[in-house]
Amino acid sequence: MRADFDHITIDQLRAAGGLKWTAYPDAIGMFVAEMDFGVPPPVAAVLRRAAADGALGYPTGHDLQALREATSGWLDRTTGWDVPAGRVHPLPDVLTALRQTIRHFTPDGSAVIVPTPAYMPFLTVPVAAGREVVQVPSRVDAAGRYSLDLDGIDAAFAGGARLLVLCNPWNPVGRVLDREELLAVAEVVERHGGRVFADEIHAPLVLDDRPHLPYAALDERTAAHTVTAVAASKGWNIPGLKCGQMVLSNDADAARFAPYAEDAGNPLGLLGTRAATAVYTDDGGWNAEVVEYLRAGRDLLEDLVAEHLPGAVLSHLEGTYIAWLDCAGLGLDEPAAGFFRREAGVALTDGAACGDGGAGCVRLVMATPRPILRRALKQMGAALTRRAG
C-alpha cells in the first residue's frame, strides 16, 4: 500500500486546530515539527477505546511493562540494539529525559555542550536547570552539508563542560550521522571522561537508504557514557500524547537512577503510554508509508527550491522532516523567516532561534501534503520575484 496524503487540505488542517495551522491563520504553517498526516489507526483506536470505556486512570504496572517491552522490541527490530526492557524508563518526553540526565549524570553546575544549529529547547532547558550552555557551531560545506566541529566539542569539554547533547538524526539540519562520525565523537568524549545525551527521537524518520545507528549501541565505550532518549512522537505524529523513553545502557547508570525512576516516570499519562506501545508493536505499516511519502516530498522540495528559490541552499534531508534552508544568497536585507511570513504567507522558524550559525537560515517543516508544499514554495518564489521587480 502506498499512502496518499495529497488530498488533505489546508481547511481541514486548520479545522483540526493544530499549532502549526492556527498560530498564523493566514499563512501556510511550516514551523512546528508536526506532520499533517493524522495519526496511525492504532493510536485512534486507543483514544476511542478509552472514551468508550470511560477509563482514564493511572497507567498500570502492566501498561508500563508493556511499553518497556514494546520499546525494547522496536529498537531491536529496527536497529539491532538489544536493550533489556528494564533499561527503558518511560517519561513524558525527550526534554524530560534531558533534565533527568543533567540532574543525575553530570556534576553539579557543569556546563552542557550543544552543537548548533540545534533543536531550540536544547538551548534553554539546561539554562532552566541552572546550567550554562556552550554552543559549538558546526561545520557546513557549500552544498549545505553539516558536520560536527569535533575540535570545538573537544575544547568545550576541556573547558569543563561534562555533557554533549548529540541529536541524530539531526534536527534541524537533517543529517543522519554515519558510524565513522559517531566513533569520532566517542573518541572526543572518552578523552575527557564526558557524557552524551543522545536524542534519537527522529530514528524512525530516516529518508536516505542508510541505517539509523543508535550511538549507545556502537561499542562498550558509548554504552558506558550515553543516556539515550527516544519517542514515538515524531515517527507516528503524537507529540501531544507526551510519552518518551529514556534508555540506560550501563549498570552504573541503572543503579544510580533506580531510586529516582518512579518519581521521574510519575507525570506519564495513560494514553501516551498505550499509544506508544501500540505503534512500537504494530503500526500496520503506517510509519513506512509516511517515510516513503516524506522521501518523495523531500525530492520534490529539492526541485522546488531549485525552481523557485535559486540562490538558496537546501541541506539534503537524510532524515527527519525538518528542512534547513540557507537563505543568505537570496540577498534579503532582513531575516528570511520574517520576510517569507509577511511577503509569502509562509510561516517558518528563523534559523537564529537554533543557535550560533543559524542566522540567515530557516527551518522548514516539510511533512505536509505535496500540493501544499508546492504552493508554499511557489509563494516564496513569487515573493522574491516581486521584491526583485
CB of 10 to a second copy, least distance (A): 14
Residue 124 in contact with a second copy, rule: CB under 8 A: yes
Tell me the angle at which helices 61-79 and 270-281 cross, rounded to the nearest 10 degrees.
30
In the block, residue with C-alpha cell 539509523? 212
Considering only residues 249 through 288, tell me which ones interact with a second copy, judged by CB under 8 A.
259-260, 262-263, 266-272
Nearest to 80 by CA among 69, 88, 72: 72
d(CA 308, CA 374) in angstroms, rounded, equals 10
Measured CA to CA, the distance from residue 132 to residue 111 in angstroms comes to: 5
Of residues 60-89, those binding a second copy (CB under 8 A): 60-62
Of 58-66, 203-211, 218-226, 301-309: span binding a second copy (CB under 8 A)? 58-66
Residue written as grid cell 539531526 = 170
Of 103 and 378, which has the nearer Cβ to a second copy? Answer: 103
3-class SS of residue 348: coil
What stretch of H or E contains 251? helix 251-265
Contact 228, 198 (CB under 8 A): yes
Rounded Cα gap, residues 131 and 146, in angstroms: 26
90-98, 109-117, 185-193, 335-343 -> range binding a second copy (CB under 8 A): 90-98
Which residue number, 66 or 309, has a Cβ lying nearer to a second copy?
A: 66
Nearest to 339 by CA among 324, 356, 370, 360: 360
Closest by CA position to 274, among listed 243, 303, 316: 243
Between 121 and 329, name the residue whose CB sits nearer to a second copy: 121
- Binding window for a second copy (CB under 8 A); candidates: 55-63, 193-201, 202-210, 277-285: 55-63
Residues 27-46 that bind a second copy (CB under 8 A): 32, 34, 37-39, 43-45
248 binds a second copy (CB under 8 A): no
**Between residues 152 and 272, which has the closer beta carbon with respect to a second copy?**
272
State the nearest-atom distance from the C-beta of 60 to a second copy, in Å.
4
Instruction: List residues binding a second copy (CB under 8 A).
Output: 15-20, 22-23, 32, 34, 37-39, 43-45, 47-48, 50-62, 92-93, 95-96, 121, 124-125, 128, 237-242, 259-260, 262-263, 266-272
